[in-house]
């Protein structure tokens, strides 16, 4: 068995026996056809040139930045969609009232797709993103000074012209700021406990139970309790500014200096906001809260999200797909229900609340949940606190690995060969390759015979060159007994590749050269696994790593051409529609049975009605049940296909009316 760096798990012989026997099915293709061949999938009128593509390539141009501090600049590029669904949430507010609200739930696929750290005034970045996105959200980080903009995508291109930012104040302070529902704005000295009311929230705000602070720009943010406006308070100028209407009310708010975003929370939802205009960006769900009322959110210095609610303090562990699992740290030992929390510069967690109309403050150990009173019996209530740490305006110019990227920016601060990553489809998102394996017979078009999740990552150095590529795969489903292999052909120069590791080969079907690439191919071909059954039983996550003879430009990395080969027959390849086979494919299958390929015309892997045998969904695909055609589970699939992709390009999402769960395996 050939085995290259794959994480394995042990299964007993008995477990293997039951897995294989329970999942195995008869692969006589006549039994795998739909019960009713005229169920609608074959009656779709699909344009002959439609490629069933769910992704688009976008060229992003960054133009004309000038660092305010003569330093490199970091850009984070996020997917952005204004499409929302509405969700009803119920929680207890800090006045003890049960509140039910309808909030907009923003696209859970709003994720980071690229980070760029550069001193170049102009540069280009190539992204592969879902085709239904027509905007990007870009955050510029100029040594802790943030600006952001929503950029439209037009004809596969987007352009961003960053604004210039004024330098932050060099007058550091060390103080806690707070607000309450009576519209007081106050400070607390964390050493002496002295409280000073320094002003009031803007007239008409209705007070506030939320505040958060940008320690670099020295701006405090709060959301009006009745107005729902986002207000910004300039600490140095002592002036208020209205940034926009959030349309949100709730108890929790945090600013995260690592990405320049506000994190608002109500019930079990966390919504990121653009502090420049109060616009919602994305929505996260927190699972496992025992009571979702009251409280606050805060990030510790390591970037871990903590949430306090009426049922205690929770650590929120990200699990992908914009979800967190809440782990309760402390519950019954708090002397009161928390209304606020914030971390100080010593990583201590401060928690505030109101008892009989008076403010109280404790300091808690977020690991053990142990606490002690710090200050008590303030004359006014404390609904939220936020900390302005000492010297946060002074970003340290430390470059541990000497690569020219200061640690404040560097995603690999201890590795001089690595600086930042780009992702497809995103940092947390998964795409899916889904195959029918009865080619050249039509089969049932449930696209569940082999379902493989993927995430592709390029690792760049400080010179904006790729030093390593990582492909992560999870075999999500095997719909039959065929022992299918899976690989990807690259349209690039093989001489650029030094080595490939992480694949899983269990037999002698595939021959490799010294680099770990498949031998006797005209283009580089990486076989990820040769037998899906064995690979799934032996690996939780297959990570293929491509290293290079020397760092390469992004343009040098070619287009990916994924495929399967069926049941141990290496030449029986199935690719996406209109994608050419590799050099080792058996071309005699073309034009046989139900295949309607015409290689001379560039037509591959389609039947007579233009249906494919494979599809690439740049999303975590919920696959159909056995013998349930894809269009039965996805109500908009037919509209999308017949329109040549013009209508419902997001057909695979969980939008209202998009899915029929009776035909889908929703418990995945």
DSSP string, 606-639: B-TT--BSEEEESS---PBPTT--HHHHBTTHHH
The residues near 222 (Cβ < 8 Å, ≥ 6 apart) are: 179, 201, 205, 208, 210, 211, 212, 230, 231, 233, 253, 384
* Cβ-based neighbour number of residue 645 at 10 Å: 18
SS3 content of the chain, % helix, strand, coil (to 5): 5, 40, 50
Provide φ and ψ at 627, rounded to 5°: 65, 15
Nearest alpha carbon to residue 144 among 222, 63, 66, 218: 218
Nearest alpha carbon to residue 51 among 649, 489, 659: 649
Predicted TM-score (pTM) of this structure: 0.73
DSSP string, 497-515: EEEEE--EE-SSS--B-TT
Return the DSSP state at 604.
-
DSSP string, 431-493: EEEEE--STTS-------SEEEEEEEEEEE-TTS-EEEEEEEEEEEEE-SS---EEEEEE-S-
What residues pair up with 175 in beta bridges, in sequence order? 388
Overall size of the chain counted in residues: 668
Structure confidence at residue 26 (pLDDT): 42
Q: Which positions of the chain have pLDDT values less than 50?
A: 1-3, 5-38, 109, 166-173, 392-393
Return the DSSP state at 164.
P
Structure confidence at residue 263 (pLDDT): 96
CA dist 252 and 264 (Å) reads 6
Structure confidence at residue 17 (pLDDT): 36
CB environment 303-319: b (16+ within 10 A), e (fewer): eebbbbbbbbbbbbeee
The residues near 652 (Cβ < 8 Å, ≥ 6 apart) are: 54, 617, 619, 621, 622, 634, 637, 658
For tokens 């400070």, what's the residue?
187
Give yes or no for a cis peptide into 440 (omega within 30° of 0). Answer: yes
CA dist 139 and 144 (Å) reads 11
How far are the Cα atoms of 4, 224, 466, 497, 513 from residue 550, in angstroms, in the given order?
Answer: 22, 55, 9, 8, 19
What residues pair up with 223 in beta bridges, in sequence order? 230
Structure confidence at residue 547 (pLDDT): 98
Count CA within 13 A, CB hemisphere, residue 509: 24
Cα 593–chain centre separation: 41
Structure confidence at residue 8 (pLDDT): 37
Structure confidence at residue 369 (pLDDT): 63
For tokens 């995945």, what's the residue?
668
For tokens 């998102």, what's the residue?
429
Exposed/middle/buried for residue 407 (C-beta within 10 Å: 0-12, 13-18, 19+): middle
What residues pair up with 229 in beta bridges, in sequence order? 245
User: Positive or negative CA dihedral for 108, 284, 271, 96?
Assistant: positive
Structure confidence at residue 466 (pLDDT): 96
Exposed/middle/buried for residue 465 (C-beta within 10 Å: 0-12, 13-18, 19+): middle
What is the DSSP pairing of strand 614-617 with strand 431-435?
antiparallel
Nearest alpha carbon to residue 384 among 271, 259, 220: 220
Structure confidence at residue 89 (pLDDT): 72
- For residue 380 the two structure tokens come to 């006014």
The residues near 30 (Cβ < 8 Å, ≥ 6 apart) are: none
CA dist 466 and 496 (Å) reads 11
* Residue 16 host element (H or E): helix 13-23
């Amino acid at each position: 068995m050939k085995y290259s760096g794959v994480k394995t798990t042990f299964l007993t012989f008995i477990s293997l026996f039951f897995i294989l026997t329970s999942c195995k099915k008869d692969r006589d293709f006549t039994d795998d056809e739909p019960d009713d061949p005229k169920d609608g999938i074959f009656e779709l009128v699909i344009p002959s040139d439609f490629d069933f593509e769910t992704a688009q390539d976008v060229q992003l141009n960054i133009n004309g930045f000038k660092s305010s501090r003569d330093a490199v600049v970091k850009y984070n590029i996020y997917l952005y969609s204004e499409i929302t669904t509405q969700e009803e949430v119920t929680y207890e507010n800090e006045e003890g009232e049960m509140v039910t609200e309808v909030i907009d739930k923003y696209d859970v696929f709003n994720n980071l797709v690229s980070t760029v750290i550069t001193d170049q005034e102009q540069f280009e970045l190539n992204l592969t993103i879902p085709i239904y996105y027509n905007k990007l959200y870009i955050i510029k980080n100029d040594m802790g000074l943030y600006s952001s903009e929503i950029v439209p995508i037009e004809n596969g291109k987007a352009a961003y012209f960053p604004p210039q930012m004024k330098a932050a104040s060099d007058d550091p302070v060390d103080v806690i700021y707070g607000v309450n529902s009576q519209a007081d704005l106050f400070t607390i000295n964390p050493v002496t406990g002295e409280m000073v009311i320094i002003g009031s929230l803007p007239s008409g705000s209705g007070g506030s139970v939320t505040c958060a602070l940008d320690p670099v720009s020295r701006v405090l943010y709060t959301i009006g309790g009745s107005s729902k406006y986002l207000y910004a308070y300039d600490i140095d100028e002592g002036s208020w500014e209205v940034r926009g209407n959030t349309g949100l009310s709730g108890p929790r708010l945090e600013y995260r200096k690592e990405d320049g975003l506000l994190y608002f929370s109500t019930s079990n939802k966390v919504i990121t906001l653009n502090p420049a205009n109060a616009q919602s960006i994305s929505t996260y769900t927190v699972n496992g809260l025992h009571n979702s009322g009251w409280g606050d959110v805060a990030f510790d210095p390591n970037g871990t999200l903590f949430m306090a609610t009426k049922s205690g303090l929770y650590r929120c562990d990200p699990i992908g797909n914009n979800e967190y699992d809440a782990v309760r740290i402390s519950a019954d030992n708090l002397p009161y229900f928390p209304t606020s929390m914030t971390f100080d510069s010593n990583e201590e967690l401060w928690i505030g609340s109101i008892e009989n109309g008076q403010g109280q403050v404790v300091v808690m150990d977020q690991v053990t949940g142990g606490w002690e009173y710090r200050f008590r019996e303030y004359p006014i209530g404390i609904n939220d606190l936020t900390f302005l740490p000492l010297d946060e305006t002074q970003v340290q110019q430390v470059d541990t690995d000497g690569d020219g990227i200061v640690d404040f920016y560097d995603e690999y601060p201890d590795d001089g060969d690595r600086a930042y990553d780009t992702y497809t489809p995103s940092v947390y998102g998964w795409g899916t390759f889904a195959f029918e394996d009865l080619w050249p017979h039509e089969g049932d078009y449930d696209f569940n015979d082999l379902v493989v999740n993927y995430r592709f990552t390029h690792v760049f150095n400080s010179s904006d060159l790729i030093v390593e590529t990582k492909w992560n795969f999870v075999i999500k489903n095997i719909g039959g007994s065929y022992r299918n292999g899976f690989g990807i052909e690259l349209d690039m120069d093989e001489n650029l590749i030094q080595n490939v590791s992480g694949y899983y080969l269990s037999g002698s079907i595939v021959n490799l050269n010294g680099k770990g690439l498949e031998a006797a191919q005209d283009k580089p071909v990486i076989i990820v696994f040769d037998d899906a059954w064995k690979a799934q039983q032996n690996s939780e996550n297959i990570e293929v790593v491509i290293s290079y003879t020397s760092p390469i430009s992004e343009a040098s990395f070619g287009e990916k051409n994924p495929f399967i080969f069926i049941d141990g027959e290496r030449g029986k390849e199935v690719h996406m529609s209109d994608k050419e086979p590799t050099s080792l494919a058996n071309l005699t299958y073309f034009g046989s049975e139900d295949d309607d390929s015409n290689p001379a015309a560039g037509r591959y892997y389609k039947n007579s009605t233009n249906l494919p045998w494979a599809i690439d969904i740049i999303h975590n695909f919920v696959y159909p049940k056995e013998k349930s055609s894809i269009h039965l589970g996805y109500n908009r699939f037919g509209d999308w296909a017949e329109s040549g992709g013009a209508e419902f390009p997001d057909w695979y999402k969980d939008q209202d009316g998009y899915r029929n769960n009776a035909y889908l395996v929703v418990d995945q």
